[in-house]
Each structure stands twice: as C-alpha cells, then as structure tokens.
Structure 1
Amino acid sequence: MKRDIRILMHTHWDREWYFTKDETKVLLRNHMQDVMSYLEDNPETIYILDGQSVMIDDYLELEPEAEPRLKKLIQSGNIRVGPWYTQTDLLLVHGESIFRNLYYGIKRAREFGEPMLVGYAPDTFGHASQMPQIYQHFGIDSTIFWRGFSELKATKSDFLWEGVDGTQIIGVNLATGYQGAKYLETEPVLLKNRMDKLMTVLDHYSASNSRLIMNGHDQMPLQRDIKIVIAEMKKLYPEDDIQLTDFESYLSTLNRDALEIVRGELTDSKHARIHRTIGSTRMDIKLLNQEIETNLYHTLEPLAVIGERAGIPYPHQVIERVAKLLFGAHAHDSIGGCNSDAVNQDIKQRLINAKEMVDTQIELHLRLLTMANKASDQTIVVVNPLPERRDNQMVELEMITETKQFKLFDETGEELHYVVKSQQKEDAGLIDRQVAARLKDIKVYRTQVLVKVDTMLGLSTRYFTYEEVEAPEEVKVIESHIIENDFGQLFIKNHQIHYRHFETGHTYTNLLTIENSGDAGDSYDYSPPIEDWVITSADVAEISYKTCKDEHAQALQLTLTFDVPKNEQERTDKVASTSVTFTGELRLFKDDPKVYVTFNHKNVTADSRYRLVFNTGIKTEIVKVDGYLSDQVKPVYLKEPLAIWESDHWVEKPVSIETMQSYLSLKDDKQFNLYTNGLKEYEVIDGKAYVTLFRTFSHLGRRNLVNRPGRPSGIEIPTPDNQLQDVSLTFNCAFDFEDSVTQNKQAKNYLTPLVGYQRKAFNRFNLNPRKEVEKATGDVTLELGNLVVSAVKLTENNCLFIRLYNPMDTIQHLSLPKDTYLANAMEERQSKLDEITVKSQEIIQLIIK
C-alpha cells in the first residue's frame, strides 16, 4: 500500500515548568526570529505555533516592531496560530475557562489571519467528555492529542470521538507522540533506524494510508535541514508520497465514515502518563484559582451586566486581563503544580494579582450601586447574579458599624432577621487612613451576618437599609452536642460526627472524618509509601465544640485535634509526634437540607495526604458527578484497565481516583450528595467517599513510584515548598441526603449565592458620587427549569450573552424574551428565536438584545 507520509513541523512551547515564563519569553524571541527567517526563505514550509496564541503576545512584548512581519507570515499560511490562548488543562479548571481560552485564542489569531481551527492539545493530562461539543461550538471538528488513549478505546489512533451529548468530532491520537520525530537525522543509516521504528507504530495504529510525523519537541528549534531529511526519506521509501503538511491536510485524508467511535473521557494511561492524582497537588494554588474563577464567572460578570444597566460601564478590559492571567496559570504543568518552586511562586503571585483585580472590581461595582441610593447613606444592596427568580436564599453581608448591634430593614421598612457568624472589634484607622491622619480614635465592629431574602428576580437588585443601635444582645452559646432542622439532626458523640436523616430515619454513624496517610510521591502523582500508616480522626481525634442556635440557623463550631507523623521517617517508625488541628463549622439552615461545612487548617507535617471521608454506607458501582457543563456517570472502580495494566505494560497504573467539577452523588436505597468549592479529586471505596484536601511531598519528580514504574515524570529536583509548611488552607463543601436528580443545578446555586454589600463609612479609597449612576431597575428573569447557567456577561458590543446547558436526561424547553438570538461560542448572532428545545447535555448560547 502506498503511504501518504506527512511531516508536520512545530514546537511545543511550555511557557513555564522547571523554568520560568520570563526565561521562555527571551528564548521565544530568538526562536521566532529563526522561524520567520527560515519561512521567508522557504515559503513552501508550514510551521505550527503549538496551538496557542499567547506565543504571539509573548513574542511581540519583546519585539513589537516585528508585528507586520509576523502578520504577513500568518496571513500567508506559513505560520499557523490558535485556537487556544494557552495550552490549558482539560479536567481541572472551570468549564467557562475552557470556553474563554478558546474565545480569546481565536480572537487574537483572527487579528493576524485565519486561526487554526483544530483542537490541538498535545500534552494535556486527559480530556473531558464534553470537549467534542465545546470544540464544535467554535467551528472545530477535530482534536489531535497525545495523552489519554488506549486500545480499550479503539484499535486505531484515528477515530470519531463522541462526547457526552452525542456530538462527534474526529480524534487523532499521536501514536508516536508530539515529539516522535524530533531532530530527525540526515545520515541515512541513522534516519532509517529511526524512521523504521516510527513507521512500524504508525502502520499499526493509523486508520488510513496517511501517516502523521510530528517533527518538533519542547522548545525545539525549527529543523533547518528538513529538506535534506525529506530527500533521504524519499530514498528510503520510494513508493510513498512524502510532504510537509499541516493538521487540516492530514485530517482531510481520513474517511470519517470508516472510523471507529470512541465515547467518554480520554484518560487511559497505557501509552502516556495521565497523572490522575495531580488534582490535589499544590492545593493552595488550586483553591486560589478556584476562588478567582468563581468570583469572575459567577459574580463579577453578571454583576457588571446589572451595573451597565445602572450606568456603570462594563469592565471589558479588566475581565480580559484577569482571564488571561488565569489562562497563564492553566497550562497542564502550571495548574497541575508540577513545577519548580520558583515557578509555583510566580504562578501564585500572578493569581494573587488576578484576585486583587477581581475582588476590587466587584467591590467597586457594589459600592457604586449603593451610592446610587441617594435617599440613605445607611444602604445595603443585594444582587441576584442568576437570570432566574430565587426564593428564600441566604445572603452573607460584612457590616462595619460603630455599635456592636444594628438592625436591618427591607424596602418597606420591615425589620429583617439576621444571624451573626462572627464579629471582631477593630481600629477604623486601619481601614481608612484618613481616620489615622486626623488623629481620631474610632473603634468599629466588623460583623459577618447571614440574612434571609424572601425573593429576588433574575439579574436584579434590592436595596435594604440599616440602623446602628446600642444595648447589644450577645449571641447565645448553648451547651449542646446537637443541631437540627426539618431535614435532619447533626450531633457529636464519643468525639465522632453523626447525622440522622429524618425522612428515611437512617443514622449515618461516624459520618465525617479526616484521614491522614503518607505520600511518597511527587508533584505529578500521589504514591503510597511502601509501609504506610493510615490514621483516621474518628479513631484518635478529640473534638471540642460550641453550639450556636437560632430559629433560622444552627451551627456547631468545632476544633478537631489528633496526632500524626511529622514526616516520612516517623510514619515508617510508627511515631505520631505532631498534633494537627482542624477548626471549622458545621451549619444548618431552617429551610435547607444541606449541611454546610468549613474547615481551616495550617499545615505542620511533611510527606502526607489529608482526605475528607464521608462514611455513607452506600454500596454502588457508579458515581454521578459533573464535568464541564454536563452530568456524567463514572464507575467507582476501573475494573477493565486495572485488570490488564501490568500485563499490557501500561506506563502508569490507572488508579480509580477521579476528577469532578463541583459535586458527586451516590445512590442505592439511600442517596448522598456532596457539593464542593475547589475540592475536585475523589475516590469511592466500600461505601465511603474520599475527597482529597491536600497532599505534601518533596520533589518535582521521582522515579519508580508504586503506581508509576520507571523514569521520573519531569526532573528530580527538590521542591521544599511543596511540603506546604505553615501554609493555611480553608476548605468548603456541603452535603445532603435528599433524593434528587438536580445536583448540577444545586451545585450552581451553591457556588452562586446572592451578593450583598453595605455602603460603609470607612473605606481604603474615596469615591465621588457619579450622577450618571442610578439604581439598577428591571430584571432578566427566565423560566429555566432544570437548565443551568454557565455564563452571564456582555458581548464586546454590549449585548447580553447567556450560556446555558441541560444536565438532565430529558429534553428541556425554554421560552425566550423578544429579540433573542441563538449565538455561537465566539458570541456572534445566528438565528432569531422565540423558544428553544435543549437536548440532554446540550450547551446553548443566547444573545438577548
């Protein structure tokens, strides 16, 4: 058979890893000068810039005068850019981050020429099952990747990949890797030996007579003698056609109708490592990233939509700047945490910068909205960031007052009940420097309160007021080991946490514990020590607590303390010399079935893994979780891969530790639903759900781990920062035992609470009132049913853009306001709609004029 051998020239450009992004920027300048010079001299050559448009920005940052030259080469098709902005992880980050990464990547590429509309993700640690549909919303009908494939998926490496909703795109697994043909030899014997090995693999896996040869590697310079190599290859394979190519040309040779169908996630680790436990590496960075993503997508963007209605200009450039800072931290190595200490420090600082921008923009919007109420300085604004009505929701407010107690009132003057979460006394001069500058001594109370709001229309505001009053009433601390509401009873007995579910009458004994075990792994993978010693808080911990009860809310504020090994050596010696403490709160609300959990912890141990353990007693072979804008059902145990991985010589054990986005649900005759905020790594074993809090370890890479034989991933350099010594972490989740199928919607509501803000007398920065800012009137209230909101924002021309999805098994119908248009993921109008039917797991985009 005559083979069609296609050689693709590229570089894989990790912006950071065990080197920093600033080092690679300098290197990229030299690289691009070399590439452009070669392409100008050899205009028949095609070169791929790793599928990420950020390389344009990084290069032009240091050589802006080269923009016309670069643009000419992109417009001519010699250099191919996009569709990504950065080569993102495809399991760990927020689903909206995936959409925005492609949006900004394609947008930037369009400014220089035609983007490469191929889902190129060469080195990502696995691929989510919703990616086919996400790609297709951008006009991308293929993906080309390396990690995640095995013969359990298909016999050939060219296939049709069917996503969770049924969308099919062409998938091409790089059977010899993106680096398989790096630095090809020109010496005939060496080249023959090299090519024969490559062709043997490609002849076995390719589904057509085409063979894709990837000539590139990490930061690899363009191979200037490629023409000599091709001339020698033509001598080796005189019957074959050999040419330089691009991805689109290779894809055009495949017969779509003849390809096998592959379904679900691409996370098998036969040919390339997936690093299934990277979801708990550097949890300080991951939790910070989650906080920024949540505040950006769930709060700032919809708040800014409301703000535009009030006369506050939409902060397009702030949002883009924050998004690109996020994308810079979302590359598989970056968000994975598998970097040198210097790089992780840089990533964390960039995320801190992004957080400061998001938080400040949110506060600025809220502050301006309160100033729009010119009738009273004692103003509180409450915002619903979802485009649907919400009833009986709790809003958390931070109040700064000169009196310990205060009253809250709604628009009609009716007094509102609130629950005090915490309160401390402060010097007002530390908040507002003008107080200190005027030598005033003013003490204020900073109080966190929870207020129940009876109803809110979609994307609307309500204005409350407050009054400072004397004669403070102390929060009652009740000596009790029980809190309860209409749904259940939470209690502590024998230093263990138990829950009684009223509807079923079932008591979940020792429901919630913390597990400490050893970690002999590295930044890529948790690895159990050869001799582990697992310690469970239920067996050894002491729990001290106090109970705060109110007619609307009850809380157990607790401290959980137990002794564990300080490091790997102590664990081997079975010595537990170090006391660890988790403080936190378990809270119940009157009309809410969820138990809200917060734990705070400052780490003082090394070489350890900590997990929350929920002893549900539910025996099941499947777990329901959310992926990107979807629901999916996963096995709790990877039976087939685990049965063959050693005999089939997989490069890494396919451990049954998986990734969720924000919830998991277990069901037999009972049901358990867990909602998390940033905790994404889970395992289900024998009726227990384990959720990793964090892990600590000593090196970027290690060789011969228990579950990962052979070479180290990355390089073997010490990374002492990964021990997270004296790092403070906060973990939040909620759970219930309700019989429900709407967990995805519940998770969205959990992560998108009402937002409230008090107009304060003391501020770090002064603002002038803006006469053009008025109270935001009106609302956008859609009858969404079980449809879930992913995004609410304005397009670049200030039209309302909403992204929705249907996580249910059944079709959902949606009636739409006047002047609503179906849109694509590039936020461009398509057809006009009055109503729409949304299929199971389908994503839709709407523009509402």
Structure 2
Amino acid sequence: MVQFVYHMDEVFEALKNQVVDYYLLDGQMSILDDYLDAYPEKKSELKKWVKAKRLFIGPWYTQTDELIVTGESIIRNLSLGMKLADDLGGSQRIGYLPDSFGQGADMPKIYNGMDIYNALFWRGLPKEETSNREFNWQSEDGSEVTTINIKDGYFVGVGLIDDDNTENVMKTVIADASLDDIALPVGGDQRYVDYNLKDRIALYNDELKNKNVKLFESNYPKLFEAVNKSKAKLDNVSGEFITSSVSKIHRSIYSSRYDQKYLNDKVERRMIYQLEPLMAMADRIGIPYKKSLLDKIWKLVVRNHAHDSAGGCNSDKTNQIILERLREVDQLSYSTVDYLVRKISESEENKQANDLTFFNTLPFAVKKNIHFKVSLKEKNFRIINGDKPVDCDVVRITRKYCGQIKRDESQYEDKDYYHVFDCVANIEIPALQWTKLSIESLDDEHDLVTETTKKKIENDAFQIEFSNGTLNLMNKKTHEKIVNFLEVVDDGDEGDTYDYSPAYNDMTLELDFKDAQVTCNKGKQFQSMQLTGAWNLPVDLKERATKELNGKVAYKLTLTLDRNDNLIKNHLLIDNKVKDHRMRVIFNSNMKTQKYSYADTAFGYIQRPVVDRHLSNWKDAGLHEEPTSIYPMLHWTNLHDDQQSFTVMSKGIKEYQMIGTGFNKVALTLFRSVGFLGRPDLIRRPGVASGNQFTYIPTPNSQLQEELHFKFAVSWDEIFEPAQIMKQFQIYAITNPYYQVQGINQFTNTLKYFVMHPLNKQLQSKPFLEIKNDQLIFSSLTESKDNAGWLLRVYNPNKFKIQGDSIIKLDSESTISLTNFTGVLIEDLGLQRDVSVGKFAPGEVKTIRIEKGF
C-alpha cells in the first residue's frame, strides 16, 4: 500500500510525459480501491488515462486462485473488479492471471459467462497438451477463450531492461511461439516504472534489425486483436493445467495454513448457500435486500482469494491480516443471518412464546437431523409440529443463570436460573421456506440420549465397531466388512508454506486408537462414537531423525450415524503441539485397483490419474517439482467402478491423494505444520527456494501450534452420480438457521441482546421456487442489478446433456429470461411457472432471471 501510493505518482508522470505509452496495473482492482480510499481526488486523473486507453485496469478485484475457491467466489471477484473498473473508465476484458498456481478446467465457462473471450496465464500448461504459446482453451460445454501462455513469467521482459545480450533474451521470448505477434511483458512484483524503456527498445531494435524481429510498445487488447486473426489455426486444448512443465506449480499448497482454508470455506458456504438466499427470502416479505452490504462482505472475502493468499504462502504478518479479514467476514455474515432469522421469526403470524422456527435456504426440500438449542425455565418439554409430536434427542442439559451478576454467587436465587437443552431432531423444511414448531413445557425431567457400554454404533446403512484400536465398518447394503476403514498417518514435512516435502530423515507413523477412551451414545435420531486420547509424535525434525517420540498430540474423534442417512459424519479435534509434520486421515474404500480419482471443480468435476505419467522420470522430463498425485478438491473426492462409488466430502479440507497398493485408499491432508515461507533444495522440489531465494523467512505461526477442527463425511453408493454427491454435500454442509422466541437467554447469538422491532405485519411462510431436476446443481440465488428480478444460477455437472424442461417450479407465473453471469439479457423466455430453459450441454452453467412480483 505504501509503495503503491508513491508508485502511482510515477505512473501518472510517466504517462503524462510519454515516458511509456501504456501501463497495466496488475489486473486487479483492490489496490486501486485502497488507493482511491486514501486519495479520492486522484479519481479524475485515473479515469482520464483509462478512458484514453493508455492505462489498463481490471478485470479482477484480486487475482484469484482457481482451484480451491468456489466458482461463485470467482464470479463475485470478477463482478466486483469489473464494476469498479467500469466506473473508472473501462475494464480490461481479459482473463489476466499471470501467476496463479494452476488453471481450473472451468475457467473458459466463467470467462464467457462474464463476456470475456481472451485469457492469459503463466503456470501449469503441460507440454503434452500443446507446444505452442497460443491456443484455444475450451470447456466441455462449448465455452472457449483465445489464450496466451507466457511460459517464462510476467517478468521475462525485465531482461530487455537489464540484459544487453539481445540474442539470449529474444531466444527465450520467441521460444514456442506459433504466431508473429508475441508478448514481451516487462513487469514484476512491486516493480517501478522503467523510465528507460524507450531507450532499451531502440537499442534492441538496432541490434535486431537484421534478425526479422522488431519490438514496440503495445498492450494486451491490441495483442489479442492480432492473435485472434489466426484463431482458426490455433490448437484446441481443454482441461485443467496443474503440471510443472514451465514453472513450479506448488501442487501441495492446498494444505498449507489449514486454519485459513477452513475459515474461508466456512464463509464461502454461508455467503453462497445461506445468506444470499435468505436475503432473497426476506426481500419477498418486506425486508429489503441489502446489495451494498453483501458487496462489502464479498470484497473482504475475495481479498483473501489471490493465489498466494488462498495458498497461505506468506509471512506470518500477512497471514494474520488474512485471518483477521476472514474473522470479520465470519462475524458480518453470521450477524446478518442472525438478524434476518430473528426479524422473520419475531414477525410471524400467531407467534407464541418459545416457538421454534427452522429455515431452509436451499431451493429444494430438506429432511435431516438438525442440531439446535432450546432455553426454558422448565426441566422438560416436547416439540409439536401442528398437532403431531416431533421426536427429539436431548444430548446435554446445562443449568444457566439469567439474573444480574454478583460477586457473591451464593446470593443468586433459584428463580433466576433456566435450562439450555442441546437437541437433535429430524426436521423437514420445504424449499426456500421456514417451518414453525411449538414447544410445550412438561413437569418431569427430560431423558438424555443413552450412553452404551457397547463399542458399536449403527443405522440402516452401516455398523461401526471399535476393536483393538481400530475402527471396523460393516456396509449393510453390500454385506462387506472393512477392517480399519479409517486411520490417521503422520509423517515429517521438511517443506515450506508452498510445498510439502518429506523430511530428509523421515519417520512415518501409522497412528491407531489403542489407548483411546471410547464413549458411544444412542438416541432416536442418531448414534455416535467418541474416541479420546493422545498420540506420541516427534517434537520436530531433529527428533524425527533420531526416532524419538517426546511430543504429544491430543485428539477427539466423533463418528456419527444419523437415522435414515448414508453418510458417516466425522468431527476430529486435534491439539497440535509438535512441529514440522503432515497429518492425513486415510479411508479404505475396499474397492478394486483404481486408475483414476475424481473431484469436484468450480462447475463440474474432473478425472485425474492416480499416478502421474512422469512420476518416474520427472527430472529428465524437465519438470520443476515431483508430480506426486496430490490434488486439489473443493468439496468432495471420489473413487468408483461398475459396482460401487465411494465419496469423501469435507468442510474446508482442500487436498487429497489416492494411496495404497491398489490406489483404493483416500488420503485427506488434514494439515501441514512448517516453519518457513520458502526453503531451498526440497526432496520434491530441488533448487532455489520459493518466495525469496536469498534469505530464510521464518513463519512460526505456520506450524499451527493450536487446536484444529476437521469435519468430513464418507459414503458408499451403488453408482457414481456427481449431481447427487453435490446435493448431498449441500444438505450435509449447510446448516439450517433457527430461532426460538424467548427472553430468558439474551446471549444465544451475536445480536440477541439488542432490541429489535418486528415488522408491522404478520408473516407466514409461503413457497418461493424449487429446483425439480435432480441432475442440476444449485449454484446461487441473488438479486439482479436493476433490483427487479432474481438471478438463479444452476449447472449440469455431468459429462452428458440434460433436458431443461420444467426444471424449476415457481409459486406463481413470472417473466423468465436467460442472462449472462452478471444479468445481461441473452434470451427472453416469456411467462412461465414450470420453468423450461432448453437443454444443458455437458458442464453447462445457466443463469435464469425471474421477474420479481410473482
């Protein structure tokens, strides 16, 4: 920020005096947002140069990671960046990501949905895909962007400034170019304006006058004009690009700074699947949609999505800023949900004391176990839905005081105490609606869930038994027993915040649960098993080398089986007290040998080999790091064959690998504990250190010496259905907001203590819209820019076409249209109630506008 403020003086002066003809401001608008916040008087000068097409800005708010943040987050990033850039004179309509650690397969879809048809990147392109720098990058739905791969980085043109050996510089620049017009980007991290650019161009042109090469100042829009004249001749390439052919790709950065990744995943889920739909539900009943509030929160979110921010490969101070932003987002988003849920509940028709209201913010009906708390003076109660009782398990009862606090607690009176009941009930809620239940107080004491001495839990799908320190699973559908279906493995990590790398003197530990204390609970709605204990581990790399185990890591693993559910839900709590290690949870699928793994992407899923083709010869093949088959995931990974499908899904874990003799075991990387930003000469990544080649930068906070939470679930199904997996994930991972009308507990959430007016009318839940096609995935529901419609985004995750007839049912007839991702009209589809939008190509994303007022 400090350097940029002074840098902009240089930029304006250089443009004014024709020191440079054009200047590109890094493709991201967050830096300008900060700059104009400090210097609003500079806005007119900024706009002058942008409108003159000499200063190029946008389209990003921050240069996003493409592999471990959601597709909707990437769209919000572009939307915020393009809006700000357009307000300043015009956004560069180029997918400019010169430094992201790999390219996501769905990026052409996202770019086209934002009316972007040209893209540029550096890292990740495999030589086997194309040997040319210029190509057409395609997605399976037909989306396509003309793409330039700057193989040697956005700083390759610095050689023009610093190196008088014109032949060597131009050899590097021209290599693998298939066209006559080539990019020579003169840039770099925090680089000043090159005042001698014109002189250096003149010197090079003089040296190259007989080489059939000429340099001249230009810009990317002009370059793409030239490249697109040859578009029909370019190679067609599809898929993701995550190999280290042209540069380091850091294909194990997905597990660095798990604390940040967990919190980011949490706020993404809340924003996309909870807050935005809830705000739409509230708007329909008279609580205005607060678009500016959402934008404020989203700006904080996507500031953490730049490739290095999302990766966590930063100094401790920078990571602390990222964490603070995420915590602010967590509080803002949670408080907004809290406000809306309370406002609606307190305004409901025929409201009674202790009414419980549960909300479903997904556009399809849910019936699931919901965990909630009830505060009552009485010791017992029952829940009524209309005139029918609702089965409810009470896990815990806590006696609380609600009077004025006093130094001497013996003065507290019994009348000022109440009870908090931790409950679980199976509740059904229609799509984008809420359900109100009543509470009836009872005189006797409430029973708690039963604690059983048997070390076994089960439901209709599974039975889990603890025996001799292992967890054994019986799949009741297949009658298949899997011994040791879940285990934890710990090994040394002598890498850095960019990459995992084994310790030079390593020791891998298969951690069992032999010393665990085992507790099993049996309720009407669920059964759970809790294992509590501690593992002995090396304190650091020095101890690992000498095979000592003087460190202790306490753990608590809770496995839950809900009634009528085929998910095994896991919550693992680890108190990490040791350093320089990687911890993974391993699932045994018991399937036959696998060749491929599968994982979800921004708007679909991808197939990946379990063994990289260059694993045995990667150095000879010129790769910059070992191509271990460590891969990114957004929400789930899968193995399947003709007989069954095995899925692991998580809330915040972003890295997996298939291991075992048949590659039929799924290893989720829980976290990595490392102490340096960059290290040289790693086993998996030889050569110079990443981040900074000239000094070690300690990052003690990245050792994650703290309590860490991990939430993940597994399921076995008969066939692989990506749409059903993603829908199952949404039901599992999206909590259902709820509210109890009561006044004795003023601290149930952030805002409860503060007073609030109900609406001046009584509310009743009514239908909104419902997605009726099980092969389509809900992506987002937001308000249109003109405030007159709703934008519902859905996508087809499959590799085959889907019919788009009667895919959405509305409460009543409304005007329907198709738009791009920002709401710009593509096609008017007229009045509809059972909404049909035409066929969905494989992987296609559609944004459907629904006029308000229906």
Q: Structure 2 length normalisation: TM-score?
A: 0.92
SS in 1 for 2:423: strand
Q: Describe the SS at the equivalent of 1:125.
A: coil
Query: 2:300 corresponds to which letter in structure 1?
Result: L
Aligned counterparts of 1:125 and 1:528: Cα–Cα separation in 2: 21
Match of 1:782 among 763, 767, 771: 771
Amino acid at match of 1:700: L
* Correspondence for 1:64: 40
Equivalent-residue separation in structure 1 for 2:89 and 2:56 (angstroms): 9
Structure 1: how far apart are the matches of 2:67 and 2:523?
A: 41
**Which one-letter code corresponds to 2:576 in the other structure?**
N
Choose from 752, 757, 767 the match for 2:756: 767
Q: Which residue of 2 aligns with 1:22?
A: none
1:627 pairs with 2:597? no
The answer for the alignment partner of 1:323 in structure 2 is 298
Give the corresponding residue for 1:718. Answer: 698
What CA distance in whole angstroms lies between the structure 2 residues aligned with 1:773 and 1:264?
Answer: 52
Question: Secondary structure of the residue that 1:185 maps to in structure 2?
Answer: helix
Does the Cα contact within 8 Å between 1:44 and 1:78 map onto a contact in 2? no
State whether structure 2 residue 732 is matched by structure 1 residue 747: no
SS in 2 for 1:641: coil
Deviations 1:597-649 (A, max 9, x none): 111111111111111110223220111210111022111111x2324321122
Deviation, 1:445, is 3.3
Alignment check: 8 A CA contact 1:610 1:694 kept: yes
Aligned to 2:749: none
Q: CA deviation at 1:44?
A: 7.6
1:700 aligns with 2:680: no
What's the offset of the Cα at 1:439?
10
Give how far 1:118 is off. 0.5
1:734-788 superposed Cα distances (whole Å, 9 cap, x missing partner):
1111113132222233223443222342322222323157334332123132100
Alpha-carbon distance in 2 for matches of 1:797, 1:92 = 31
- Structure 2 counterpart of 1:722, one-letter code: S
Partner SS, residue 471 of structure 2:
strand
Matched, 1:671 2:651: no
* Structure 1 position 732, deviation (Å): 0.8
Letter in 2 for 1:184: L
Quick check: 1:427–1:442 contact (8 Å CA) kept in 2?
yes
In the other structure, the counterpart of 1:474 is 448
Shift of 1:562: 2.2
1:381 aligns with 2:377: no
The unaligned stretches of length 5 or more in structure 1 are 1-24
Which letter maps to 1:66? Answer: K
Give a deviation string over 1:781-837, Cα, whole Å, max 9, x none: 231321001111222333211111111233222325531110111122331225221
- Partner Cα distance (1:370, 1:332) in 2: 41
Pick the aligned partner of 2:218 from 238, 245, 262: 245
- Whichever residue aligns with residue 234 of structure 1, its letter is N
| Structure-2 change in CA distance of 1:721 and 1:485 (3 Å) | same
1:458-537 paired onto structure 2 within 5 Å: 458-470=431-443, 471-537=445-511
C-alpha contact 1:631 1:744 (8 A) present in aligned 2: no
Matched, 1:802 2:792: yes
Partners of 1:295 and 1:825 in 2: how far apart?
A: 20
**Of 257, 261, 265, the match for 1:286:** 261
**Secondary structure of the equivalent of 2:614?**
helix
Between 669-678 and 713-722, report the one with greater CA deviation: 669-678
Of the structure 1 ranges 394-403 and 781-790, higher mean CA displacement relative to structure 2 is found in 394-403
Q: Could you list the runs of 5+ residues in structure 2 that have no partner in the other structure?
A: 747-752, 830-834
State the TM-score, normalizing by the size of structure 1.
0.92
Describe the superposition over 1:503-538 as per-residue Cα deviations: whole angstroms up to 9, x where unpaired.
211101100011111111111011101121111123
Is residue 2:802 matched to residue 1:812? yes
**Runs of 4+, deviation exceeding 4 Å:** 429-433, 435-441
The alpha carbon displacement at 1:436 in A equals 14
Report how far residue 145 of structure 1 moved.
Answer: 0.9
Partner AA of 1:803 in structure 2 = R
- Residue identity matched to 1:71: K
Residue 272 of structure 1 corresponds to 247
Please tell me the residue identity of whatever aligns with 2:484: N
Q: How many Å separate the matches in 2 of 1:133 and 1:432? A: 62
Aligned to 1:447: 421
Please state if 1:200 is matched with 2:171: yes
Superposition map of 1:561-576 within 5 A: 561-576=534-549
Query: Given the alignment, which residue of 594, 614, 618 partners 1:641?
Result: 614
Residue number in structure 2 paired with 1:218: 189
How many angstroms apart in 2 are the aligned matches of 1:616 and 1:417?
A: 34
How far has the Cα of 1:209 moved from its partner?
A: 1.1
Helix, strand or coil for the counterpart of 1:813? coil
Mapped to 2, the partners of 1:587 and 1:656 lie a distance apart of 30
Structure 1 residue 67, shift from structure 2 partner: 0.7
Displacement after TM superposition at 1:256 (Å):
1.2
CA shift, 1:164, in A, is: 4.2
Question: SS of the counterpart of 2:260?
Answer: helix
Q: 1:355 maps to what in 2?
A: 330
Which residue of 107, 123, 132 maps to 1:147? Answer: 123
Q: CA deviation at 1:299?
A: 0.7
Report the more deviating stretch, 700-709 or 810-819: 810-819
Which amino acid in 2 is paired with 1:734? A
Q: Distance in 2 between matches of 1:169 and 1:586?
A: 46
Q: What is the alpha-carbon distance in structure 2 between the residues aligned to residue 723 and residue 263 of structure 1? A: 38
- How many residues align structurally? 813
- Cα distance in structure 2, aligned partners of 1:634 and 1:164: 16
CA displacement at 1:365 relative to structure 2: 0.7
1:3 counterpart residue number: none
2:388 corresponds to which of 414, 423, 426: 414
The yes-or-no answer on 1:87 pairing with 2:63 is yes
Q: How much does 1:847 deviate?
A: 1.1
- CA separation of 1:297 and 1:431: change in aligned 2, threshold 3 A: farther
Residue equivalent to 1:835: 836
1:253 counterpart SS class: helix
Equivalent pair of 1:101/1:327 in contact (CA under 8 Å): yes
Q: Is the 8 A contact 1:388 1:784 kept in 2?
A: no
Deviation at 1:389, TM superposition (A): 3.0
Tell which deviates more after alignment, 550-559 or 355-364. 550-559
TM-superposed CA distance for 1:166, in Å, is: 4.1
AA paired with 1:695? Answer: R
Confirm whether residue 51 of structure 1 aligns to residue 8 of structure 2.
no
Matched, 1:791 2:770: no
1:228-278 Cα deviation digits (max 9, x unpaired): 122222212224343211112112222111111222111111221111111
Aligned residue identity for 1:797? D
C-alpha displacement of 1:173: 1.0
Q: CA deviation at 1:549?
A: 1.1
- Aligned positions of 1:171-210 closer than 5 A: 171-182=147-158, 184-185=160-161, 190-191=163-164, 193=165, 195-210=166-181
CA-CA distance at 1:502 after TM superposition: 1.2
Comparing 240-249 with 618-627, greater Cα deviation is found at 240-249
Distance 1:609 1:259 in 2: 43
Distance 1:44 1:181 in 2: 15
Measure, in 1, the Cα distance between the counterparts of 2:506 and 2:78. Answer: 43
* Closer/same/farther in 2, CA of residues 171 and 439 from structure 1, 3 Å limit: farther
Counterpart position of 2:523:
550
Deviations 1:521-559 (A, max 9, x none): 111011101121111123x64222221112321111221
Percent identical: 28
Aligned partner of 1:847 in structure 2 is 849
CA deviation string 1:144-186 (max 9, x = no partner): 1111123122111111112243422222111231001127338
> Would you say the 8 A contact 2:391–2:524 is kept in 1?
no
Map of 1:110 onto structure 2: 86
Deviations 1:85-113 (A, max 9, x none): 11111111122111100111111111112
> Which residue identity lines up with residue 408 of structure 1 in the other structure?
I
Q: CA deviation at 1:579?
A: 2.7
For each residue in 1:328-347, what CA deviation from the matched residue of structure 2 results, as whole angstroms up to 9, or x when unmatched? Answer: 11111112111111111111
Contact kept, 8 Å, 1:527 with 1:707, in 2: the verdict is: yes
CA root-mean-square deviation: 2.3
Cα distance in 1 for partners of 2:761, 2:448 equals 42
CA displacement at 1:66 relative to structure 2: 0.8
